[in-house]
Structure 1
């Protein structure tokens, strides 16, 4: 019977909040102290059971010992004539379980939640208290994002006598609650015949589910399961398994692999999930490790900044040396340039001294703060030396671009170019240097026409001023090549990059470090031209050069790994694709800020791979994280939106997906209208419209995608995707002859250069369906066999499409 509207002593029951095996929880009002509270009331039929009353009393005593900002506080225990209840702090907000389901936690929020749960466990375990039912449903998040741990109803003290005296007399929940916890992984189960199983199976430690002695290490195991779900977006166990099998996996600690997150965080979670309690870290060690992981990007950036400082000084020294060589014939200009170089060196040395760990003032500055300080000082200290000003502006602006601080870099680089253009003493090569910097900045801003203009002018200056094989000319060609690539002008991109490659190889040889950036960009041009064998070969060559010359966590290595992942995704080698993209993500999260847009790029590709493997829940989680990061309206956000929309379409959530498809198409056509990715986004939108039954609209998108790809190359392998779409569309229209024609075209372009695309599985299965409708049983059987075999080769024999094809 509901207590809403009733009062006991000074407490009024306002509204129900929840119900468990032993009682109800209500929102209440304390009229004496004028505050809202939560009232946890024993069921009427439980009041006569000594063990139930003992549990309520025990929870009250335990909570009274815990005064911690991340643990729900107790105000009182009321033993009335009709009701016994706890008076608790009322927590506004939502449970972690709901927040995970909604997918609205950003990466920084997740780390904050993890640290606060760990801090609460430090406090509880420090008092000798074990929670024993730690799970997302017992963790509340306030509107401010702070953690509050609830429900110490089955907690116990470490020094409490262990035995059957209480737990063997009771069950945790009635049959209705435990009928099928596969539907709700946070449902409880009753005790076994031989011992007590108190808690929630999906979040229990192995020793707990076996009815063995529980310690604080049991809470840490449960915490490890929560962390895996929190950071990967996927529960540690597959709740779709039969209950008996799931219980066996829980008892054996056979959790899912931990993927898609920082390596150190994954290692910590694995330690927490150790089957042996003694091997699990304590709460205090876990809290400290989480803080260390949170601060890792900051430490990496500080180390990177130190290396950057050294590089600046080496560069300055090189400038000085270069000037010395030229002094004989151009003494006046050489002296001026040498003086400029010394001024730059002095400024940089003084600036970097501010971040020296041995600085007696004890100051500590982040990379962003240091660069901002430098930008501010330029105006005040160097107003009378404009060329020195311009050199330092250009240097700091380039570093800011590399760190993703695009808005900070823009005024510095733009002004440096303006100064060098107007100052009569500026050298043409200095103007070319600024033009190159501005061109790179404009590329990051997706202002490609301006980027192209800047690089063309820089290239013209360098061709006039330098020998024909100078590496600076090759640098301009490489920058121009990547701008052409983003514009979708792949032939022009290839031409510029091949010229740069040949220039460097002629002068320095095929193993020179200068080839890295040129070959890296060339491999991406091969990729989008559909020359996958060439792309794979060149990407691996770049990787070898990076391993020889660069730090393993060099941000450029992530680009190369990402590109290889894309190659293998197109070829249907999804396990390889995932491996390379994960390595790319690990580097970017370590070497850059976790919210850097390049992290979003890796996440977007990872989500695309998951979607093709039929792992929609994981795909959605990583793609929503990518969208949280990539908030700027541009081609990268368009890709994230399109990939997420494709996931939702495959999941049957068509109404939710369509606005994302439309926004993605709008953004991509505004920013890079001729790029190959436009065709991919049109194709995904066509798939969506076809599934929605809007076949005419779908055909328009497929044909536009086909037209764009054929403009690049009439036999472009990626044309297989819209051709497959058109085949499915004409099957839906009841025209199997036309459908079969499209599928055969798709198969022809999908088998080139000794490779077979992932799309050929769809082509074979679609052609089998068309043949069956035409009454050709033999062809249908053969195409079905080939389709199922291709799915098997890709490691996706159980994919729904593979099963449907085989059936």
Structure 2
């Protein structure tokens, strides 16, 4: 449909297209119901239809643009119907004034096509025959379509515009379908994408050039539809994105993202309220999240634009909650992108700004749980960067602030599973830093608390796989503390229970790389414990399975350094076990291979420690047969430990450092390290024997 200004009124997903024609004194108009049988209709290559005004115009018109070249045709004018007849509403086919209800009818036909893969009119009809059917509101039945979808199609394609659902009602129904089985998710998502186009496009095509009273009404309606479009964008790029991410189909949102971006670009910030600015900034954040998940570098620019819009909203209303939320989120995503690149110094200011917004937000409404959680997230974000930079004390302060907030929320809502799950994450962060600081008693208490909460959550819902996975992780932390404080039996019990859970999860979802990796890592820990206690056969079998599993995972997602480090760590511990079992000849190639492969790795503390342990064990294996090579490798181990930037607190690593210092003749320093090891409760008769022999 053309407005009086000559603008296309309907949408370009098969409903209307521009035709470039030369001017003429004759008008073209649509068929009326009385003239439908005598009207002539022809189609070009896109199935667009032209209707001549009377029989004198009933010449044979070209069917392609190529045939039309150099010829004169009538120019379309206001009141002329133009579009793809397959998806026309009855009122559009009759050339009547159009409303959103017309687009909803056409959308119903598109929805039918999405779920049937068949056109809504029989094949083989001419454009004239199709337009006549459309004018009468006829279409083929939507067969073999799920009941809920069929019902929605029927309502959308009612003959009377007033009987059709609004876009809001259609959106609500499709949102419901997103939570249905996975086979419906993709098609329902595409349907929502089309509906987004319906809503957003109407924002641009509403004809407001009427008398003042009508203009006011139309403007209000346009604003309402704009809000509908923005809410739908938020849903699609927010909630729907999460659903599609789980089935690996974020690509479905690519076109939605382009249109959402075009929509935001069209807005004049000076004419928007603070809430409108915040809402559109939020849409940019959601789109940035999609792009970041896809590994698209365009994400950074989107977050920066969001930050600018949200900043303008805060300039106008400094305590606007939505603006604070969105402004903080933009800072978080920018900081997180930098963190993932290893640029912690650049990331920290963004995370501090995010924390500041959360603190202000919690002051706006101290009783609002969502705002309090946002404050907790801000402190956690800053703490993570500080922890990565080695500022453990300051990081612990921030983590403890987050823990206090989440503890209060969990205490007020003991039956709220989400609140309890949030609490476990905060407890884990505090315990992990305490562990790094060597405060093992406090760390153990926190990890025990975390395990207890996870057990309680699983008792409520034993089939919740995410809680099972988190319970296994909590057990790993607690087992490490116990092992490093001398409770080897307690650690082994936890590791074995953890392994049982992880094997179950790995079988449940063989495609989950993290779950497959966890089995390998836990097998390594159990194998080390068995090797230490002299259980040779079990240890070797567990090392063999761990090596096999981690190699399979690395094959699935190659070039991931953390997986390579996992594999190297397993080889170092396996070699150490072989050495303790008197198979030094088999161990030497393992240590040498690890040192060769890690020589060009990106320097970081974990890699330095790994190389130090490989060099130490290789030197120990060479000591009797090649003393010169052994001395070189002890020196290499010494240099690698010296390159570690954060304090080493874990007793099993201090064990290796103690040995290196002894071999390098640094007796006084070795004695200090041994005293630190003793203070943790970690016991090793071998270390005490080495100390006595060296006179420390």
Structure with the higher strand share, 1 or 2? 1
TM-score (norm 1): 0.44
- The structure that has the greater radius of gyration is 2
Task: Specify which structure has the higher proportion of helix.
Answer: 2
TM-score scaled by length of structure 2: 0.49
